[in-house]
Chains A and B, each alone.
Chain A
Amino acid sequence: MKRGLVEWDRQELPEGAFAARLAACRAGMCEERLDALLVYTDVWRAGHVRFLSHYLPYWSSGLLVLPLEGEPLLLSTQPQRVFPWIAETSLLREVRAAPALGKAAAAVLAERGWRRAGVVELQELPWGIYADLTAEAPGACELVDASALMRGVRLSEDGHEEALLTKAAAMAAAPLAALDPVGQRDWAVIATLERAYRRAGAEDLMLLVTSPTAGQWPGVPREAVLADGVLLQASLEYKGHWLQLSRTWLPAGASPLRGLYDRLGRAYAELSETARPGLSEAEAAGLLKRLAPGDGLHLFAAHASGSAPFTPLPGLDGIEEGMVVALHLGAEDRQGHRALVGDTFLARREGLARVTT
């Protein structure tokens, strides 16, 4: 359930931005000979529909139906009482209550007499919707997977996205710079950030924390005093744009973890300078191998250019130009002590441009 500030600021993100995105989709639909595009959304997998319409199903699900011509239609499991809010916070004007999304979509396909419809992430649709849609779609209408079309549109350059990510990065940085978490209770650390980020206008958050000596990567806090240091991962959403960063804090003065942390910092600098779209699997493996000999290194790579906030990438070779990418590098010494660092980048042809600071 989203409970941050969900509003559409038309100065920040003008309607024209969405017109361009819809036009790009429609150009792809023409090429693929599609009469319509169906795009699933829910509170977790909101990315694509948010990108196309600014609509956010804050606790439910929906299917956006984008015809080749005419207004987009939203099929929504939200009650009719919420429709004014949908109109206020998105460009969607035509909304239909649809408790069974698959059946409702099939009915629209029949009603409009479409012959060929693309479904974004067809194989990733929730089974209930997929089963209803494929069973009840009119025989005359061919359903095809349109994931590649959507992916192409999402990965193309969009200045608005970059501006909003930059704003989100500034929002993420300030409270972290002021944080002095070592020796605090984990609950208190998370509470401080939660307050600060929501006051700054964050739409959603996932804040995870642990101690470097706990033998795990950050998770939901469990009431512990973080005396040995702090590993933290912050995921923050601003106007549909997610970013993620990881940081390590060590106690002041001498710490047995200082050496590990410094080696990790050097490895991460090289990683972020070297990683780029088009890296081969062998190059990616070679890079990781030479980064920090002696320590166990763990790479966690994900992208925020899909429908879910962060979709794990199999490795550095999965980075594509235009992606919003989060790279986290964790190091673990022989005692099982850990350090962690991570940032969000925009993947450009020539390399990764850091967004978070």
Chain B
Amino acid sequence: MDSYASTRLTRIRTAMKDQGLGGLLVCANGMRRDHVRYVTNLNVLGSWAIAVLGPERGPALFIEDPWDLDRARRDSWAESVTAGPGLLDGIVRAAGELGLRGPVGVAGMELMEAGLVLALRERLAPLTLQPATRLLVELRLLKDEGELRAIRRASELADAGYEVFLGTARAGLPEYELVAEIEGFLRDAGAEDNMMILASGGVEVTGMRPPTSKRLQVGDLVTAELTPQVNGYYAQICRTLVIGEPSAAQQQSFEIFWQAQEAAMESARPGVTISQVAEAQNEVFRKAGFGEYVSKRYTRARGHGLGLHFDDEPLIWEGNDLRLQAGMVLIAHPNTYLPLAGYMVLGDPLVITDGGCERLTKTERRLFAVAP
């Protein structure tokens, strides 16, 4: 176990103590594997895994799929790893061996299979279980040097990936072949995974989704979010390009997005609330006469955190009063639909520093044009 891991487990135990928890169960499933990775360093491949952390000892790790056993023993910080049938008995035994006391927090409880929660409640009694996802979410907001190193490397891959995107997009290419090229490139460069959505077209496009067989056409806006993962950590870049020469309306629309992202970066510094970062972006749209397009009808969020999940907390939205601190990593992206030219995106990963924020990607912030 390296010093980052040791420090991390100490922080988790301190938070457990502060919240009066005498143990922590951490759950991964097919949708969310990030909490278990944070606590054990294991990239879970199967359908579920549970880590058991005692007040002084642990974690003990339980994984559904025996396929992963050797890798888990090599990669994880867990004191013990168990796979296959009989995991419930193992978890109950580990709770005793690791000295769990009640109440026990459960991170990821809302995603655990109901039958497992019911069985654990019964078998662990008189220990009581209570949701504790927030405990890990809040600890994970601040990144250590090891985490920042991975995010910086992922940001480099995001830049390189977008360069390939620019070099590949052309009229006549189906969207899914464009994605195939980017995915291949990112794998070759060492990305573990990548989250990616895109869209192409004009004012009829109201959002992004997985690629289709639609062929890119001259005049299309092509929007993309690339989110490569390195050592578990994601960084995201959002850019928009035009096949051929941008129209005046496309340029006019992009200018609003550029100003909104600029306002977000200017506002992002320690002490400022997430709400203020969202407001900084939204004010640009309001002043331009497009205030209604920053509502949930047209946009999901004005950005989000980045880390072991590609859509981590905090969600950047007006009304979120969480205050930024140095060491947080987020993407501020004013992505939304505008009637001027359709859905458009622009965003970069930012690490909050003592004096403001640092943009981690280097790709130019402009409306790109590629030759048809």
> CB within 8 Å of B: which residues of A?
1-7, 42-45, 58-59, 61, 79-82, 84-85, 122-128, 130-131, 187-188, 190-192, 194-195, 197-199, 201, 206, 208, 215-217, 219-220, 223, 298, 300, 308, 311-312, 314
Q: Quote the shortest CB–CB distance from A206 to chain B (angstroms).
A: 8
Are B113 and A127 in contact (CB-based, < 8 A)? yes
Residues in A with CB closer than 8 Å to B146 are none
Are B300 and A127 in contact (CB-based, < 8 A)? no
Known: A58-B210, A122-B114. A80 touches B188 (CB 8 A): no
Known: A3-B211, A5-B212. A195 touches B183 (CB 8 A): yes
Are B113 and A311 in contact (CB-based, < 8 A)? no
Are A81 and B206 in contact (CB-based, < 8 A)? yes
Q: Quote the shortest CB–CB distance from A114 to chain B (angstroms).
A: 21
Are B209 and A123 in contact (CB-based, < 8 A)? no
Q: Which residue of A lies closest to B297 (CB)?
A: A80
Are B189 and A187 in contact (CB-based, < 8 A)? yes
Q: A6-B209, A124-B114, A201-B176 are in contact. List 8 more A-B contacts (CB 8 A).
A: A5-B211, A43-B30, A81-B300, A127-B109, A187-B188, A216-B70, A219-B68, A312-B66
A192→B184 CA distance, assembly (Å): 7
> CB within 8 Å of A: which residues of B?
29-31, 43, 45-47, 64-68, 70-71, 74, 85, 109-115, 117-118, 176-177, 179-181, 183-185, 187-190, 192, 194-197, 206-207, 209-213, 296-298, 300, 310, 337
- Chain B at the A interface: mostly helix, strand, loop or mixed? mixed
Residues in A with CB closer than 8 Å to B110 are 126-128
Are B31 and A3 in contact (CB-based, < 8 A)? no
A131→B113 CA distance, assembly (Å): 11
Are B112 and A127 in contact (CB-based, < 8 A)? yes
Are B113 and A123 in contact (CB-based, < 8 A)? yes
Residues in A with CB closer than 8 Å to B192 are 220
Which residue of B115, B206, B212 contacts A123 across the interface (Cβ within 8 Å)?
B115
Q: Quote the shortest CB–CB distance from A49 to chain B (angstroms).
A: 14
Q: Quote the shortest CB–CB distance from A318 to chain B (angstroms).
A: 11
Are B184 and A191 in contact (CB-based, < 8 A)? yes
Known: A5-B176, A130-B114, A198-B179. A79 touches B296 (CB 8 A): yes
Residues in B with CB closer than 8 Å to A190 are 187
Residues in A with CB closer than 8 Å to B112 are 126-127
Residues in B with CB closer than 8 Å to A312 are 46, 64-66
A289→B2 CA distance, assembly (Å): 42
Are A220 and B43 in contact (CB-based, < 8 A)? yes
A124→B64 CA distance, assembly (Å): 14
A21→B46 CA distance, assembly (Å): 29
Residues in B with CB closer than 8 Å to A80 are 297
